[in-house]
Amino acid sequence: EPEVTQTPSHQVTQMGQEVILRCVPISNHLYFYWYRQILGQKVEFLVSFYNNEISEKSEIFDDQFSVERPDGSNFTLKIRSTKLEDSAMYFCASRPTGLGEQYFGPGTRLTVT
């Protein structure tokens, strides 16, 4: 069964560094999402992406964040200058249309020191 994959599974970075989290959505899916979960808290929506542009973003998704679909398979989340409070689990999700079930990846645990 096709699944969403994410790399790396765990990333450790120093404050102020740039990080890129990578996701490979399911191949025929057209809608892509990033979510964040700070340890012990609920999962929060960051951004949705369709047709090579952002459809919606939350107030968390400020100027330090960006998303890109650099080729036909990858979907990336870039954090320009990481802060300690960016430490969290980041989940990618995708689905074939704008409605229906979202398929989640296994997550990338980001630790900012």
**Residue numbers of the site for other proteins (CB under 8 A)?**
33, 35, 37, 41-45, 48, 55-56, 89, 91, 98-104, 106-107, 109
Q: How far is the CB of 71 from other proteins (least distance, A)?
A: 25
Nearer to other proteins, 82 or 95 (CB): 95
Q: How far is the CB of 83 from other proteins (least distance, A)?
A: 21
Both structure tokens of 70: 């650099």
Q: How far is the CB of 70 from other proteins (least distance, A)?
A: 24
Tell me the backbone φ, ψ of residue 100, rounded to 5 degrees: 100, -170
In the 3-class helix/strand/coil scheme, how is 42-88 assigned residue by residue? CCEEEEEEECCEEEEECCCCCCCEEEECCCCCCEEEEECCCCHHHCE
Nearer to other proteins, 35 or 65 (CB): 35
CB atoms within 10 A of CB 78: 13
Q: How far is the CB of 38 from other proteins (least distance, A)?
A: 12
